[in-house]
Chains A and B, each alone.
Chain A
């Protein structure tokens, strides 16, 4: 069953196209990811789906409701964790959740029970009466996720849920997200620019410059890369590259002192390959392709080469400060 349907939605800001005829369907119960570099249009797409922005063109249906024509119905169907912090840091964890429960019209009988249930799930029950300002970045993020869930939404939006968190905390957050999918059986729509995190999704749309350039399961996306990725160094990379492309008819890329190419069944290929090379191999490795390789293949760029303008850099810094 389809729960989100975006039909060629576009958003133009003062003549600049941020989202360009984006089209996709999300099935009920799946974790659907939007993967793309900074400024690709991920947040803008979420803002359209959650009724905060009107699309310049196109139609989006969420839980059977049109996001432009029936915004209140859509709002009641969704929970959202914004990219930037949105807690009231002067309230306690419990007060933040109680505020949310009230504006989402959760009945009095259910309210207390549900708040406790959520606080226990995000492991903040013992800290419920502490002011949010005293929380760590990871705790705040967990509280925001808990808050997004509180009113039993059909769809939970997570906009860069792990941005600015350290790797350990990021892993924790992911544990919660998986736990949540099992327990609450909701649909999760998330965005990230961390490749390795996108692997957690059932399906991924890769977005660049406002356009979806690929959409599939992580495994199938990785099949777009022709097999395993071989990285090697030699004394004369130029000559070696020529030799490899000449003998195997492969495309060889040069990356800061390394040669990189793709081949099916990399492990089996390796012994024979090393034996036959005229140019002696000084180091070599085989690895499975990652989504980074997919992005590189599709766009010719690395996703994390942050094109980040000064403004974005500043925003990231402010975010990091607030997260503390």
Chain B
């Protein structure tokens, strides 16, 4: 959007040389994969009164209909305004994903029975573990980044070792080491704090590198101007450098938060009743694994969307000076 030139090149999808081969390929794939035999294909064929036709005829019909629908859809969406295009495409793709889940012939009655517990116990625990870990990881990352940029050998050594160790070991190992290892030293630790500690340390190590790179991306001149004005090191960092570095730090940090949200499911190995743990155990009792897995997945997705929206807001705030 920001990078569009002021030239009206013919739009990609309005070029027949792309549009038509594209549709041909889609048609070919549908035909080759025997779309007529799928549940969706059968339903479509039934709609056209061809449920009893030969397999090839059904495939042909389904491939044709789907290709035509896509062709019309693209033609219509192309005529919308950019903002609406994004929403429409998003909604359509989301619908397809939901349709995919729906095709599993799920027992909604079972989901309805279990979702309350999944939310009140599982979701709450996941949110709690993730939120606390995010806060601690951010603090660790900030300390780590400043240590790595300092000229204090001890701080530098600790920070280097920290990022090396906690980025290098598998997160699963870290969780076990903290939960099972610390008691060996005489510190008995509960499952939830152990999980939070492991997540914070691991993600703090990744984010240390993000924060360091963000700070380093600010030109020397900014430090010098700030120092020449007499600002103290603390003020130079918090008032001049970090606000500018935030623009660079936020997008990858948003990534980390979303990844952490889902990695919080790893703490289920030490018996924390978070979302994934409950989804698995609740599904087991009545052999309804798929129902629970899909429900949990959708909840993770919704949480990720919320994080994406928050990230977008913060990004816009820090981009203020550049876009105006």
Mutual binders A and B: no
Task: Give B contacts to A, CB under 8 Å.
Answer: none
